[in-house]
Amino acid sequence: MKMALTVLLLLLVMSGCGGKITRHGIPVVLLSGSITIQNITPYGVDSVIADNIKDECEIGQELSDSIKEAAEDNGLELRGVDLVDTSESGNVLKLEITHAVSKGHPGLGHRKGTSIRGELFEHGKLLASFSGARTSGGGFLGKYRSSCSVLGRTVEALGKDIVTWLKQPSDNAYLGDESFF
């Protein structure tokens, strides 16, 4: 019995940003070519994000970097710009961070999460949209990670979710974990 509890505890400690795309939405067809994204994902106008996250963490940069890295690994061509223009020709992904929560702390356990919203435009026309969230308790050795590091894990997972979605976009999809916001 003690061994079973030890294994269960180890699995809980090692879990980080798990989950899958939980709602696929209505499939759409994306034309070929590159996809334009913003170099730093902005916070949404109506976002709920604590000032300490904005001041201390770089989750907007980390999310964009994660998307670019996952896209390269999956054969998608991305083009980074400072500010996206949804009316431009080609494929444009407009993305924003809508919430970021940093609860808990290393000693008692992290409770961090990030949520996003995105819209894919094709030649200025809205093609598909999604929302999503990822949460993390820090994963293996989480008590030794900073709050920003754990939030970084959430946006890294979201970046991979977004690229999976870009390969087969669908309208009104939900990516990642169930949100705790």
* 17 closest CA partner among 155, 181, 180: 155
Question: Is-contact 134 17, C-beta < 8 A?
Answer: yes
CATH of 20-176 among 3.30.160.150, 3.40.50.261, 3.40.50.300, 3.30.70.920: 3.30.160.150
Helical axes 147-167 vs 59-73, angle rounded to 10°: 40
pLDDT band with cut points at 50, 70 and 90 for residue 134: very high
Query: Which tens digits make up the pLDDT trace of 25-53?
Result: 778 876 688 999 999 999 999 998 988 89
Residue 119: strand pairing partners: 94, 129
Q: Is 69 buried (19+), middle (13-18) or exposed (0-12) by CB count in 10 A? A: middle
70-118 confidence digits (pLDDT tens): 999 999 999 999 999 999 889 999 999 999 988 765 555 557 889 999 9
Rounded-to-integer distance, Cα 40 and Cα 80, Å: 9
Task: Break the chain into its structural domains and give their ranges.
Answer: 20-176
Which structure tokens are listed for 80? 């980074």
CA distances from 37 to 44, 63, 78, 97, 108 (A): 15, 11, 7, 14, 37
